[in-house]
Amino acid sequence: MPSKQAEAVRRHWTAARRAMVDADAEPLDDESWGDLTAEPREVDYIETEAGGVPAMWVTPKRSAADRVLLCMHGGGYLSGSIYTHRKMFGHLAKATGARALVFGYRLAPAHPHPAQVDDATAVYRWLLDQGIRANRIAFTGDSAGGGLSLTTQLRARQRGLPLPAASLLISPWVDMEANGESYATNRDRDPFFLRESVRRFAGVFLGPDGDPHDPLAGPLHADLSGLGPIYIQVGGDETLLDDARRLDEYARKAGVDVQLDVFPGMLHTFQMAAGRAPEADEAVRRMASWVRPRLGLQPLTGPVTD
């Protein structure tokens, strides 16, 4: 049974749905998404520009300066920002013992696909140009940012860039057609992500001439062979559950080292409740424990504190 603290995630998505369908409902401030997350202690934030893209360094005290989490925020490619997600990625960076670089890619509909993958690739190239080695970088992202964590690697490979050491994907959105069976089986459990809504978001993201089968939009249509290890987390009650399951199966068939963790009773991007909900803190701990050795850091030996 979800903790009382985790129920805040359900309330958030319920309010978001109400604001989307009810003209009389109070509009939901996009920045309120970040209110789910507690402020992590001993983490500094410095805004910068990375490859022409607005970004923010998230630097925990005593973190390894030469290990970096490249962080891609969620929001359906339509919303979200470095500000909504800085705290959540701050918790993950602190647990990992690395710096994080969060960036603000251009959003649809003003900037449809492939603007987002182009921005992400520019940031990655910039990070490499700063002298950070690819095998000391891990990509991470939630929802749309999870899909972008994969498509950026595909674009980087096209352009001859070295690939990162690993990827940490949170409730990744990887199917622009929303064909997963869990859109039906979890429809009554997920208060926001209905199949028809997700298809509408995809249409806005892709633009009028976009192709949902484009590998740089939907990684389930891409050649994933040669990518580094992937760790996926997903909520058991969310409709995007099958996005994660299908990605796990597809990546395995491509020869990728992949691990999938399903958190029973949890909803989409429940990790945003880090520092408040025990389920989110456990998820952050698992991600950090998995990625540390892949960045050349010592394994975790004790509990992670906020």
Catalytic site residue 268? yes
Residue at 224 is within a domain = yes
Per-residue pLDDT band at 175 (split at 50, 70, 90): very high
If we measure between CA atoms, which residue out of 202, 187, 191, 206 comes closest to residue 21? Answer: 191
Mean pLDDT across the stretch 156-164?
98
State the DSSP code for 44. E
Q: Which of 79, 167, 268, 279 is catalytic?
A: 268
CATH of the domain at 188: 3.40.50.1820
> For residue 292, how many other CB atoms are within 10 A of its CB?
20
**For the whole model, what pTM was predicted?**
0.96
**Residue 33 predicted with pLDDT over 90:** no
Q: Which of 143, 149, 171, 182 is catalytic?
A: 143
Least confidently predicted of 118-122, 133-137, 295-299? 295-299
Q: Do the Cβ atoms of 260 and 248 come closer than 8 Å?
A: yes
Number of independent structural domains in the chain? 1
Residue at 180 is within a domain = yes
Per-residue pLDDT band at 19 (split at 50, 70, 90): confident
Residue at 80 is within a domain = yes
**Residue 31 predicted with pLDDT over 90:** no
> For residue 182, how many other CB atoms are within 10 A of its CB?
24
Instruction: Transcribe 11-40 into DSSP letters.
Output: HHHHHHHHHHH-TTSPPPPGGGGGGGSPPP
Secondary structure of residue 265 in the 3-state scheme:
coil
Q: Do the Cβ atoms of 169 and 71 come closer than 8 Å?
A: no
Residue at 300 is within a domain = no
If we measure between CA atoms, which residue out of 281, 269, 283 comes closest to residue 75? Answer: 269
CA geometry: angle 49, 52, 54, nearest 5 deg:
45
Catalytic site residue 238? yes
How many angstroms separate the first and last alpha carbons of the chain?
A: 23
Give the separation between CA 57 and CA 33, rounded to whole angstroms: 20
pLDDT digits (tens, 9 = 90+) for 234-274: 999 999 999 999 999 999 999 999 999 999 999 999 999 99
Residue 235: give the domain boundaries. Answer: 7-295
Quick one: pLDDT at residue 299?
Answer: 81
**Residue 22 predicted with pLDDT over 80:** no
What is the percent of the chain where pLDDT is above 90? 91
Find all residues with CB under 8 Å of 246, minimum gap 6, and list them.
174, 175, 180, 220
Q: Which of 81, 113, 149, 238 is catalytic?
A: 238
> Token digits for 260?
């999938």
**Residue 15 predicted with pLDDT over 80:** yes
Residue at 103 is within a domain = yes
Per-residue pLDDT band at 303 (split at 50, 70, 90): low
Instruction: Transcribe 168-184 into DSSP letters.
Output: EEES----TT---THHH
Per-residue pLDDT band at 127 (split at 50, 70, 90): very high
Residue at 302 is within a domain = no
pLDDT digits (tens, 9 = 90+) for 59-72: 999 999 999 999 99
Per-residue pLDDT band at 26 (split at 50, 70, 90): confident
Q: Do the Cβ atoms of 124 and 70 come closer than 8 Å?
A: yes
pLDDT digits (tens, 9 = 90+) for 162-174: 999 999 999 999 9
Catalytic site residue 47? no
Mean pLDDT across the stretch 275-289?
98
User: What average pLDDT is seen over the chain?
Assistant: 95
Residue at 304 is within a domain = no
Residue at 305 is within a domain = no
Secondary structure of residue 292 in the 3-state scheme:
coil
Mean pLDDT across the stretch 212-237?
98
Identity of the residue numbered 53: V
**Residue 158 predicted with pLDDT over 60:** yes
